[in-house]
Amino acid sequence: MSKIKENWEIFVLVLFFLGIKLFFLLKPHLVSWDEAVYLAIGKFIWSWGQVGIWEKIRPLGLPILLGIFWKLKLNYFLWAEALVNLFAAGNLILVYFIGKKLYHKYLGLMAALFLGVMPIFFSQSSLILTSIPSTFFALLAVYFYLLRRSFVLIGLFSALSFLFRFPQGLLLICFLLLIWLKEKNKINQTIKLISGFLILFVPFIVANYFLYITEVSNIFHALFRPLILGVMHQANPFNAQYSFFYFEKLFQQNYFLVFSLLGLVFFIKDFKKNKKWLVVWVIGLIYLGYFTYIINKQLRFSLAFLPYFCLVAAFGFYEFYNLIKERKIVQPVFSFVLVLFVIFSVVGMVRENDRDYLWRLDYEHPIVDIYRYPNFEGRILTGNPIPAAYLERLFVSFYQDPPTAREVYDLEKSKIDYVIYFEQFYPCWNEECVKLKGELFDLIEEENELIYSTSLNGQDFYFFESI
């Protein structure tokens, strides 16, 4: 109770955040493509492959948790979204306590506040995706590092973060670097860190071996199959962006992040005094460097490093304030500027909410009827994973590039009972791609019977029954 009383501000902030989230939680949730995949994989795992869908490229941490709600026959979408809401609240709490440990509680509160009103964080915290849950475990590892807890636990939390989102494996590299930069007993701490990580990583690669050994040419490819496919996805050309994408977009999201530049200046200026901030800078910069380097850039990827830059921005703000606070006009001006930053962030949050939550109607979106249409018995080959989230059926995906989709169709056509062809399953940028998609559709139409077709919101569906 004393802990709650001492830190009441962050709990009030979190309760306010969750109260707003409750407004959206109680409305129908129209799942997106990636959300549907995680929900459907959760069904697949907990039904032992009887229903749902499987994608090799996806980490299994989130689907394993989600599938529990499905197995318990709870309202699947509501409880899944509530889980992500709680992980988001955990992000805010951990940012607060990390800031408190590094500086003082009001710095932590400021960092948590600005993370919470960051439009990308607020909108993504209601989507059933991996960024926010994986960052929760990463922040937990950082907090335990600052508390000087066992490196076995730090390695364990790092592995948990990785199993929710593969790029979070960078956390292990960050902590290894910190050990060799700061720790005295380097060998012992390295062994502990890696041992903790291996507790969960070894079962992961062993499972990969049994799942994929028959598909690949050697043991290495089987052990690391999801990671190898994930590396290929880094070069996804459909989300290619310019080098300074994250710098520009995140500053547009919240101008408060400008203070992170001052945070860097003060960190370097008095490095000995601020050495404990090294963990935040090492993780933040390595993550930023990685996500800037890869071709596939999406603003939601920034959630892996955004909490660290909210912390250093708060640090820059406080250090700059302490530098000039003796001047009489400073305190009211800084208070005014801080309020402006909050207002700008909230306005941005509302705008993003208008764009991303248009589907949060008081009634279920009409397109759900299309997703639920193929409610027939048998194995379904699908060009869109969303029906797999809504139906208790076994689905096989063929929404890769057209040549791969053709290979999957040829392999599966004798085993399936129905086909869902989704016209937009792969966006084409050249005539060859359009030609291959057309040939695939013609083949499916020739070898199967079209039983229903429809179009809504620019999405075209064709439902075929195997002959």
**Looking at the predicted structure, is the pLDDT value of residue 220 above 90?**
yes
- Map 271-290 to HEC letters: CCCCHHHHHHHHHHHHHHHH
What is the Cα–Cα distance from 58 to 235, expressed in whole angstroms?
16
What pLDDT digit, counting tens, does each position of 101-133 carry? 999 999 999 999 989 989 899 989 999 999 999
User: What is the structure's pLDDT at 68?
Assistant: 97
Phi then psi dihedrals of residue 136, to 5 deg: -55, -50
Residues 6+ apart with CB under 8 A from 54: 41, 44, 397
**Looking at the predicted structure, is the pLDDT value of residue 81 above 70?**
yes
Structural domain harbouring 352 = 2-18+75-356
Please state the pTM of the whole predicted model: 0.94
Residue 466's beta-bridge partner residues?
A: 448
**Looking at the predicted structure, is the pLDDT value of residue 358 above 60?**
no
Q: How confident is the model at residue 361 (pLDDT cuts 50, 70, 90)?
A: confident
- H/E element holding 406? helix 402-412
Q: Has residue 65 been placed in a domain?
A: no
Read off the DSSP letter of residue 258: G
Q: What three-state secondary structure class fits 466?
A: strand
Share of the chain above pLDDT 90, in %: 69
Last residue of a domain, one of 356, 380, 398: 356
What is the Cα–Cα distance from 80 to 74, expressed in whole angstroms?
10
User: What is the structure's pLDDT at 69?
Assistant: 98
Q: Do 370 and 223 fall within a single domain?
A: no
What pLDDT digit, counting tens, does each position of 19-68 carry? 999 988 988 888 999 999 999 999 999 999 999 999 999 999 999 999 99
**Looking at the predicted structure, is the pLDDT value of residue 357 above 60?**
no
Q: How confident is the model at residue 328 (pLDDT cuts 50, 70, 90)?
A: low
- Asked if residue 270 lies in contact with residue 315, where contact means CB atoms within 8 angstroms, the answer is no
Q: Do 261 and 169 fall within a single domain?
A: yes
Q: Has residue 68 been placed in a domain?
A: no
**Looking at the predicted structure, is the pLDDT value of residue 446 above 70?**
yes
The size of the chain, in residues, is 467
What pLDDT digit, counting tens, does each position of 145-165 carry? 999 889 999 999 999 999 999
User: What is the structure's pLDDT at 366?
Assistant: 83
DSSP readout, 186-208?
A: HHHHHHHHHHHHHHHHHHHHHHH
Last residue of a domain, one of 356, 383, 413: 356
Residues 6+ apart with CB under 8 A from 13: 92, 109, 112, 113, 116
- Asked if residue 129 lies in contact with residue 85, where contact means CB atoms within 8 angstroms, the answer is no
What is the Cα–Cα distance from 49 to 433, expressed in whole angstroms?
32
Phi then psi dihedrals of residue 61, to 5 deg: -55, -55
Q: How confident is the model at residue 350 (pLDDT cuts 50, 70, 90)?
A: low
Q: Do 13 and 51 fall within a single domain?
A: no
Q: Do 311 and 380 fall within a single domain?
A: no
Last residue of a domain, one of 324, 356, 388: 356
